[in-house]
Structure 1
């Protein structure tokens, strides 16, 4: 290899013309920051200029001039490409060497260089013997390229994510350009970017064509950007909704129209479905009989349906902004204590909450309404609780029906007294709670001559007699007494008595009252009652045994002539 000395620029009488020329070239190369390499293809020697070494962060004396020096510094991914470029030129397959690769800087980072060179000497047989070239640091350009590539990728990613198509129109040449996404949106197969101008016009929906074309013409004439929404009809007949942007721009000496289009059919269909769903919800909320309210996180009402207005006797305007607990002044039906609705509990807990039972609403019109309520929290898209939806049912009628059914299940429908099952249940419970020093009187009552009344005057008269006797019982018996109809014309009473005499006196009062009870037809005056009495104290026997005793005493009263009272007394053997 021929050694090229590092000649400094100087002037003097001894400087030859050739040296001066070399001097100028050396100065120019250093000033341009170009690293020179000079390779002897015969000996394998290679010269690297000080500028080349400084480009990689080395002093001239730190690196030798080995021919493979640059290969020890090249990036592994670039090595093959760089070697092949040189070999092709040496073999005469290319006019010169020109390639880009990375060399490792002394500090460890990579320097991008543009390597250019060519064969400058040959032997007598035409075989290359010498190559000279320069390497230029293009790291900053590569960084710009990388940033530009990254920016383009980001833009393309945004376009792909938004499924946005780009278009251009050159009015001077009548040329229209569509990118790949535009062709997809309009249902065209892949093809050239240039399309026929009439393509867009032909694919416009007939009902939207005039408006869309007019807006494009206006943008072209006035320069005012346009944003429009219209429909297109794809070649397969599918109708799509699109949004288009158009802008007039100046590019050199040309005036162009540029724009973008994206398919919003899914959004349009979704919005229409949402609107239908909201309308369905509105109709449903306005139609259902339950009161429905929504609140914010402070439990203030933000919505109320007509059922809520009707229940609270207030308009929606008066309800909006009020707190739920202010408009629902609820009290416990049993204790009278204030009761809070479930909406705030749902907001605090983040779950569905059912309100307490036995709630009464005291309305301005004086009515009391029994309510049941249920609340669930409302969440936004981030999962944050924004309020609650509260459903309030007016169960006043149901509660009344429930009471009526419960009363019917435990009471005799004719007399209104407890039926046999209810009497036995209440009497058994009372006997279980019997305190020391307290005694009960158990009366077994059978109406005398009741069958003859039914036979002679009919069942209506018999029913009247039974009802009359029930009224006598309720009028004469003290508070707390338990009275029931056991069946037919048989009744039973459990009442607290102070003594045997008190028990007998109360029974005689009942007999006497019945005697003057149904005074209508004279034939009823023979109707009376036979009452058997047994006394029950601490450690009393079972109710069944006590009823058997009272029944036996009643039988005794009948045997003694009816219309009288008999007290059960155990026999020595019992």
Structure 2
């Protein structure tokens, strides 16, 4: 050790500079040392040695006490002191004897004494390790906070209510699509306009609670409109940092984070979770997760359900689940689990469990081992109860054994089942299902071979009457007979099927000869028209046939079936017991019917259906007795149309009741207007469709019209008369009488109403059809027939109206025969309501006979 460095406290002689310094140092209660200009540690008092060297000896140099990286700076400080500096203050690291590191604040200053021309300096060290660490932690915390804000893309906001200043970071603006130059909302209310309407009340309340320091509202979420117009989700975090004397927040600081992507992910996750939960619920699969590191097991609700347990049961590895394993399966199952966990392999298993009620179940499991982020060895898996499946499988195995033993019997049964599934039980013909398969098969074969397809759709005529009058047994026999006829008249390769109650289809390959198809249809019709005897009755029925055929590559068999059905409809409409080929004309007719149907519906909406009127006259006095209402269609393109242009389509469309109702309402309005003008028209008659008589609400609708009793009568066609009426029609007819509405039978003599029916109904009038009236002046037989109808009316006290009266001669004859009322062109043509007043006032129908004849001749 150098001679000028002391390793322990010196005891210098009295009077020396060192001695004086030593005496001074010992007087100080805080750590103090003397260092010379060469860096040697000359003296150190007891507090210095205690605090900085402990029980170890002092080092030779002062710099040896400090960290190697700081010694150079210390030497430089000593040199500046030697050069005349008054003091030096430095923060340095010190390495203790035990190797620990500390930060010290070193204060160096010159002292007056010297020895052998050496300059001395005092050294006072203050431990600042704690303060230094606080500064470092504060700097690190600030750096971490800044980095976190940048990486999390959170916008910082600072509301200083005391100064009125508000700060919003660039990221805060960036979240909302704002540039630094974009102005901010001037008020809270203006800013709330940017918040989603469903969130505004929540946001306003959350801000109030956040400013109040409520921890429940330190974080809240809401939607705000982005500058580009879409909505974004924002997570707002805020807290009060300054308060006034009353405890009111004066400064609130926080962050806003765009969580739109997170919310979308949460919604997607929730959607996926719901689907997964629904799938698991439907399948009955229970899911579990086991942690082999902690021994914990997590079961979902379905797992508890499978094992017949309440959810409150505690599940751990080696506990609950293992207790349920069947004794014969337990060792194998647990060994299987351990093996696959050890090898980290997925596996499946099936085993028996014994529930607490003693029942035995079979469970199937699928398991996947894995290691989580904490290094825990885990296993996730699914269980489902397959007892029923296993039992079924065992039953099937037993059934299979029996099936193999009785293979021939079951094969025959299978053939019978297949035949039954593909054939009609009554006629043993192929059914609709078989036809559908054959359509595809024949279409493929014809496309391959370049052949065509022909389809005959057959519907039995009058089958319903036989079925209803003689019973279903008779109907079944007729169907069997029809099937036999169809088999006997078709070729061996033709496919014959029964597809409905009385509908049959013949599917055939077509060689381009429609005449052969026509001959086949005629043979079928001829054979089916022959009488069939059943229990003493000769049953007669016929057939209507629709034919559709096509040649060329790839004919569409299903479209042909539809075309054949359309042709069948045409055949039935044209008189039945006939056949029709599908053609472009029929197709156009369907299109035309569809167009007319649409126009009728539109006409109802536009109220285009209007009444025309034909006056009725007393046969003797020629006074007006009433007026018949006739429907007309004021078509926007084709002008005024009579019923023959639209009635059939309207009936198919079921629009006739609506037209009847519209005509009745307008006719009642016209009738009341005539009465107001004093015109002598005592009664109004209107046509009523049979379907409208089925309307259960008819009485309520008529009451709403406030019809004066005795002023209105409803005309019913004889062809739909009482012989075929059901209960609803009968009830409505009775109610009409109670309302004071009379019933008249139209076109009498052309239908099939019986006298018994007339007695039941007791109508107010019978209208003789114009076809019967037309020949009364030329045919004695016709006059007798008309006279008989008039006599029937008089006998039953029913007024008789002759319609279609076109000549003066007819007027005379009908008057002589005793007819009550006349209606026809000879007296008045149908006319619009506006022409009625002038015609009635003119008395134009009361012309002399000669003039009337001239008028008739010119019409």
* TM-score > 0.5, shorter chain as reference: no
Q: TM-score normalised by the shorter chain: which range applies?
A: 0.3 to 0.5
Higher relative contact order (CA 8 A, sep 6+): 1
User: TM-score scaled by structure 1?
Assistant: 0.42
Structure with higher helix content? 2
User: TM-score scaled by structure 2?
Assistant: 0.30
